[in-house]
Amino acid sequence: MLQQTQVARVISRYLEWVERWPTAESLAAAPRGDVIRAWQGLGYNRRAVSLHRAAQVVAAEGWPDDLTKLPGVGPYTAAAIRRFAHREPVLPVDTNVRRVLERTRGDFGHESAEALMDLGATVCVARVPRCDVCPLAAQCPSRGRRYEPLRKQMPFVGSFRQRRAETLRLISAGRTRCLDDAAVSALQRDGLVEVEDGVARLPA
């Protein structure tokens, strides 16, 4: 849920989620359509499908030694699970942590994971870092520098992502016909909807 989604948006949804599906087995047994509905509003809906598939793998085979074998789990997510769920001595390096490491040239261990994430998200931000309140500023060789964004994300409004999201919302609400065909096809490719005889529905 935290992949590319702010913590404030995730917390309440996460608590609802684990109350409804407290184990991998209970999530694996849920209809995929219910999982997709419960995910609505968190964005990047393919993550719901990946999470459901990952729960099915865990329910059937147990947790793999290499967590990247699970659908939707890359090296960073695997490291975060190992650090925060299993308390292993691993430093997960996301965009925010990488930024702090590169700017400060510091040598931080796994014990600093939470602090580095918070620092990168709130103080050592991408374009205009808040060096005046940074606890590392005195030793930071990048203090006072401003940065251009690495890439400019296209606006959501008017984008194909918005069309996909709206189409999925309509299907979740029970509308099955007269939809955006291109969006339906994209959703179908990602396993978010099923189409039969021209009728689009959430997966069973």
Contact status, residue 140 vs residue 134, Cβ threshold 8 Å: yes
Question: Domain 74-152 belongs to what topology?
Answer: Endonuclease Iii, domain 2 (1.10.1670)
> What's the CATH architecture for 7-73?
Orthogonal Bundle (1.10)
Residue 151 pLDDT: 64
What distance in Å separates the CA atoms of residue 194 and residue 65, rounded to the nearest whole number?
33
Residue 176 pLDDT: 80
Residue 76 pLDDT: 93
List the single range of 33-37, 156-160, 189-193, 200-204 with lowest mean pLDDT.
156-160
- The mean pLDDT value of the chain amounts to 92
Residue 175 pLDDT: 84
Question: Domain boundaries in the chain?
Answer: 7-73, 74-152, 160-201
Task: Give 27-50 pLDDT, tens digit per residue.
Answer: 999 999 999 999 998 988 999 999
Task: Give 48-62 pLDDT, tens digit per residue.
Answer: 999 999 999 999 999
Residue 2 pLDDT: 85
- Given a cut of 70, whether residue 64 has pLDDT beyond it is yes
Residue 119 pLDDT: 96
Identify the band that residue 153 occupies on the pLDDT scale cut at 50, 70 and 90. low
What DSSP string describes 48-95?
HHHHHHHHHHHHHH---SSGGGSTT--HHHHHHHHHHTT--S-----H
Task: Give 108-151 pLDDT, tens digit per residue.
Answer: 999 999 999 999 999 999 989 999 999 999 999 999 888 876 66
Contact status, residue 100 vs residue 114, Cβ threshold 8 Å: no
Contact status, residue 70 vs residue 32, Cβ threshold 8 Å: no
Identify the band that residue 73 occupies on the pLDDT scale cut at 50, 70 and 90. very high
